[in-house]
Amino acid sequence: MTLDIVTIFPAMIEQPLAAGIIGRAIERGTLDVKVRDLRDFTTDRHRVVDDEPYGGGPGMVLKPDPIFRALDAIEAERGRPLTVILTSPQGARFTQAVAQRLSGAEHVVLLCGRYEGFDDRVRERVTEELSIGDYVLTGGELPALVMLDAIARFVPGVVGDEQSVAEDSFSRGLLDFPQYTRPPEIAGAAERPLKVPDVLLSGNHAEIRRWRKREALSRTLTRRPDLLDGAVLDEEEAALLRELKGARDGRD
């Protein structure tokens, strides 16, 4: 998969991309990521990318022409990108489902805003405007990294075990079940022993599978019941959910 990120702070993107699973995928060539410095697409001596807002008001606005030139250069080098994403707190919510859909695109361009954001005419060249949540950050670099990371996990060959991606929280509309590793017992607060649930040490794979389903459903019901409306459940899970809801109603 090919990704281009346009930013005025390339170092904010390049360093995190060099580490971990994403760094290895780039090294192997599974992901072809280029970070483009927006200032390289200015034409003036001072490499100015922003200007005052028409109509007055605080802050500066990112000029449209360097962004258009950056997109033209990317197209000339790579061919027409089908997906140009504007990072914006005003965009549609970026979710696991959006990440999965975008992982099917051959080429994605991510535009990182700064200051008061982009001159609105930039939207002319944008296919999607996406927000990572209802809060405002100082720039689009962190959102672009978040999106790239979540998208890349769905690209075949990026995460070693694709099953783990399929089982992650949100992938089926459920939160993930709790995980434990060695040691089987450790002292918690006031020396109270914190034990791994017996079932996970039992070696009984059918019981473990059922326990994990139950825990995933129970966590989702407690923490994010809104997700259950869109969850795809098998018969066993549907029965477990009825049981959990029944037990909860009994307690109320």
Annotated catalytic residue, options 16, 64, 89, 184: 89
**117 near ligand SAM, judged by CB under 6 A:** yes
Enter the DSSP assignment of 234: -
Q: What DSSP element (H or E) covers 161?
A: none
Comparison of 85 and 240: residue with beta carbon closer to ligand SAM: 85
Of 36, 114, 153, 214, the catalytic one is 153
Q: Is 93 among the residues that bind ligand SAM (CB under 6 A)? A: no
Q: Minimal distance in Å, beta carbon 90 to ligand SAM? A: 5
User: DSSP code of 155?
Assistant: S
Say which of 37, 75, 168, 176 is annotated catalytic.
168
- d(CA 81, CA 77) in angstroms, rounded, equals 10
Per-residue interface string for the shown chain with ligand SAM, residues 126-155, x marking contact by CB under 6 A: -----xxx-xxxxxx--x------------
89 flagged as catalytic? yes
Query: Which residue, 95 or 204, is less far from ligand SAM as judged by CB?
Result: 95
CB of 6 to ligand SAM, least distance (A): 11
Q: Which of 37, 65, 75, 116 is catalytic?
A: 116
* Site membership for ligand SAM, residue 114 (CB under 6 A): yes
The CB-of-130 to ligand SAM minimum distance in angstroms stands at 7
Region binding ligand SAM by CB under 6 A among candidate stretches 73-81, 113-121, 167-175, 197-205: 113-121
Q: How far is the CB of 146 from ligand SAM (least distance, A)?
A: 8
Torsion region of 173: left, alpha or beta (phi above 0 gives left; psi -120 to 50 gives alpha): left
Are the C-beta atoms of residues 129 and 184 closer than 8 Å to each other?
A: no
Residues binding ligand SAM: number (CB under 6 A): 20
Residue nearest to ligand SAM (CB): 113
The number of beta carbons lying within 10 Å of the beta carbon of residue 184 is 14
For tokens 């990317």, the residue is 74
Helix (H, G, I), strand (E, B) or coil at 186: strand
CA atoms of 203 and 9, how far apart (whole Å): 51
Q: Are 41 and 76 in contact (CB under 8 A)?
A: no
Per DSSP, the three-state class of 109 is strand
Integer angstrom CA distances of residue 249 from 77, 84, 182, 219, 233:
60, 47, 36, 16, 21
CA 102 – CA 152 distance, rounded (Å): 9
The first and second tokens of residue 137, run together, are 């950050």
> Is 116 in the active site?
yes
Q: How far apart are CB 82 and ligand SAM at their closest, in Å? A: 21
| Nearer residue to ligand SAM within complex by CB, 87 or 220 | 87
Active site residues: 89, 116, 153, 168
Which residues in this chain contact ligand SAM in the complex, by CB under 6 A? Answer: 87-90, 112-114, 116-118, 131-133, 135-140, 143
